[in-house]
Amino acid sequence: MNEFLDDFMGVIGSPGPTIGKLMDKKRWLAVFILILLTAAIVTYLSYPITKVEGAKFIRDSEMANKLSEEQLANLDKFTPTQRLIDALTQLPLAALMMLLAAFFVYLFFKVAGVEGNFSNYFSGVVHASVLDMLLGGILKAALISIKKTMFVHTGLTMFFPALDFRSLPFLILSQFDFFSIWYLLALALGIAYFTKISPQKSITIVVLYFLFKSLVFVSFSYFSMKLMGM
């Protein structure tokens, strides 16, 4: 238990050496489970608010024309079972997010000629996710509960409150989330420590990964909302 807490605090206070050593040991299961449980709990607690706001935006979009009056009236209604199922679906989704992130981070570093196995990089991504998916997720859930809206911001979008969440500028700015940047920087420093490459090279590779990830996410989100009539 003390070792787990030391690792947890080390990721926050000295991410480079901590994540680097954990990549070498390939120790990730406890933190992985904690992140999955946090994602499920956060979703369960914020579900009533996100459900109501999601229904409101569907009613105000072109999607409403494809639904009956009864369907529109029931959009914001849910049962305890639906709430629980939605929370439980976050378990595989959160796991998939970390797996995909680890795969592409591993791929980018491999292309750059950096050593290490996938298991090393997966351990690094899982522990760096403490900053983004765990701490960031808890803060966002708290803000949702306090403000009673799912549109809470912990990045550049907070400086542009007039932007529509469906607009391309909003989607681009949303990628510059403070917790996400913290996560990427910690991961870059951890990989540099583990692989013995310079922090500058590691940060450059992580920035390239970030640009790739952002391009895919923004493109997919923007065109998906257009196709759905939002």
Tens-level pLDDT at each residue, the chain (230 residues): 678 888 889 999 999 999 999 999 998 999 999 999 999 999 999 999 888 887 777 777 667 677 777 777 777 788 899 999 999 999 999 999 999 999 999 999 999 999 999 999 999 999 999 999 999 999 999 999 898 888 888 999 989 888 888 888 999 999 999 999 999 999 999 999 999 999 999 999 999 999 999 999 999 988 887 776 66
pLDDT value, residue 1: 66
Q: Which residues contact 140 (CB under 8 A, 6 or more apart)?
A: 42, 152, 154
Ramachandran angles phi, psi of 177, nearest 5°: -90, 135
**Which residues are 177's β-sheet partners?**
155
Cβ atoms of 174 and 126 within 8 Å: the answer is no
Measuring CA to CA, which residue among 175, 154, 174, 178 is closest to residue 164?
174
Residues in CB range of 46: below 8 A, 6 or more apart = 141, 144, 145, 150
- Per-residue pLDDT, 122: 97
With b for 16 or more beta-carbon neighbours within 10 A and e for fewer, the 107-131 pattern comes to: ebbeeeebebeeebbbbbbbbbbbb
For 138-183, write each residue's pLDDT tens digit: 999 999 989 888 888 899 998 988 888 888 899 999 999 999 999 9
DSSP string computed for 150-161: S---SBGGGG-T
Query: What is residue 229's predicted lDDT score, i.e. its pLDDT?
Result: 62
Q: Which residue has the tokens 């306090």?
A: 146
